[in-house]
Each structure stands twice: as structure tokens, then as C-alpha cells.
Structure 1
Amino acid sequence: MEGMLMTPPPPPPSAAASMNGTAGMRHRKMMMHMTFYWGNRAEILFTSWPGDNAAMFVFALLCVFLMALVVEYISHGRVLKPGSNRLASRLVQTLVLTLRIALAYLVMLALMSFNVPVFLVAVAGHAVGLFFFAGRAFHEFDPPPTTC
């Protein structure tokens, strides 16, 4: 027995059938990209969405852009007013931050399509949101403190 290579036993028939997709029903073969690729044939967030329609692909890109923009708005916007009820403000803060995390996760899941246009619009959405909501370009200018 020494020196002999032992091979593992084959899987049971039911497991083997489920591995190749023939277990009782026919499954659609999906090719999932594991590297970045260009093209408008992608599945973003949902099965068969946006499909082969170029207009739906542009709509999907717009949705990803707006989700990234809203994430930045929520991250840098002021939602609560000073002097608000503490319990109500905590509840609102919790709901807003939950929405921010949910949208951020949706943007991340869209990026997992590995589609370059999806990546570019997500980055652009965050960049535009950062420019408008976190930068001082459209906020009141705070003069530097004077020293005496």
C-alpha cells in the first residue's frame, strides 16, 4: 500500500448531477466576468437587467450614478437642525444612515458586475457628489480668523 496514490471516491450521483446543472431542471448557463470588460451586455443588480437593450443599459448607468450621488449627499448633508428633539433626531439619524449604507452596498454590488462603464459612472457619481456636497465651492466662504 505504501507508494500507491489513492484517489478520492467520486461524488454521489445526486451531487454530480447538481454540479453540472442537470438535477431535475435545466439551468441557464451564466458567464460571470471576473475581470473588467467593456460592453453594454451586463447584469447589474438583478437577473437579466438591463438586458440587451442599450437604452435600458443607459438607464441602469444613470441609476448607479444617482445612487452614488445620493450616498455622497447623505454623507455630507446636514439632515438635523440644532435644537431638535433628541429621540426624534436619533431616529431620523438612524434611518438616514441606514439608507446611506443600503445605497452604498447597492453601488458596491453594481460594481461587482465588473463592467467598466458601471465602474466609471459610480466613481463619477461619488466625485460629483463630493464636489457639490462636501467641497466649499458652493458653500459660504468662511474667512480665516484674524490674529491680533
Structure 2
Amino acid sequence: MSHEHDRGNMSVSMPTPTSSSSVYNHSTNMKQKTMHMTFFWGKDVVVLFQGWPDDRLGMYILALAFVFLLAVAVEVLAVSPPLKPGAQPVSIALIQASVYAVRMALVYLVMLSVMSFNLGIFIVAVAGHALGCFLVKYRALRMASQAEAISDASPKF
């Protein structure tokens, strides 16, 4: 039995790396973007969806802002609100599970965006996570200092 298989008319044309970010595919007569496997600079990138952002600088900046906000949202959603006494455990668990599901969806979107290997996308994702972490920590520290100020101002018997 031979291990060679008859491939028939199934030929696959693989794009060859060029100096530009797109290549001309002779089999389909369409211009396609190459998939980078190393970090690169430039606005010619595909983030999350085929054809987005297009080759315009404004759309690339919009993609950067979108990934930045996704990363901030991931960090903000990581903090669970304090539980209220007397609340239904099932409803609280459902709400927390729903928030967790949304957070995980956003985490995966950020991860897939970073997998475009575009340095701009990578930098804004890290910056968004850092800003989100800062906002969460700042809010927690501010609330703790306010609670301490209130407890210090209360009369002691």
C-alpha cells in the first residue's frame, strides 16, 4: 500500500513573503494580506474580522482605541461588587456568572487582537490593562481611605 495520495486538481497556492504587507494571489486574482508570525509595525493589519480595519490610518486608530477599551473593560469587570445581605444567592450567582462570561469573551477578543502580531495593537492592549488595573486599584484605595476617615471621625465611647 502506497502512502502517496492522488491530489488530483487540488493545488494550493501559498503566498510568498514580499516587502509589502499584501500579495497578489494568482489563483483567485485577489489581493490578500499576509499573516504575520512576528511582531511588525504598520497600519496594514487585520484585527478580529477580515477586512477590518481597512488600509486607512483612521480605521487603524479606531482599531487601536477599540482594543484599548476592551482591555480596560476586562480589568474593570474583574472586580466583583460587594454582596448585599439578604440577596438571593441564586440571582447573585447568575449575575456574577454572566459578568464573568462577558469578561472572558472580552479577554479572548483582546487575545485574538494581540495575535495579529501588530506592535501597536500589543502596546494598546497592555496599556489598556494597565489603565484598567490602575482605575480599579485607585477606586479601592480611595474607598478604603474614605471608610477609614469615617471611622476615625466617629465618636468613640
Please give the alpha-carbon distance, in whole angstroms, between the structure 1 residues aligned to 2:55 and 2:33.
15
Q: CA deviation at 1:140?
A: 2.6
Q: 1:20 aligns with which of 1, 13, 23?
A: 13
1:139 to 2:143 alignment:
yes
Contact 2:80 2:96 in 1 (8 A): no
Paired amino acid for 1:133? V
Unaligned runs of 5+ in 2: 15-26, 149-157
Runs of 4+ with >6 A deviation: none
1:128–1:56 distance in 2 versus 1, CA, 3 Å? same
1:27–1:44 distance in 2 versus 1, CA, 3 Å? farther
Share of identical aligned residues, percent?
Answer: 38
Please give the alpha-carbon distance, in whole angstroms, between the structure 2 residues aligned to 1:27 and 1:112.
27
Q: CA deviation at 1:8?
A: 6.2
RMSD: 2.4
Greater RCO, 1 or 2 (C-alpha within 8 Å, sep 6+): 1
Contact 1:38 1:115 in 2 (8 A): yes
Q: CA deviation at 1:78?
A: 1.6
TM-score, normalization by structure 2: 0.74
Q: CA deviation at 1:134?
A: 2.9
Contact 1:131 1:137 in 2 (8 A): no
Please give the alpha-carbon distance, in whole angstroms, between the structure 2 residues aligned to 1:100 and 1:80.
19
TM-score, normalization by structure 1: 0.78
1:80–1:105 distance in 2 versus 1, CA, 3 Å? farther
Paired amino acid for 1:113? S
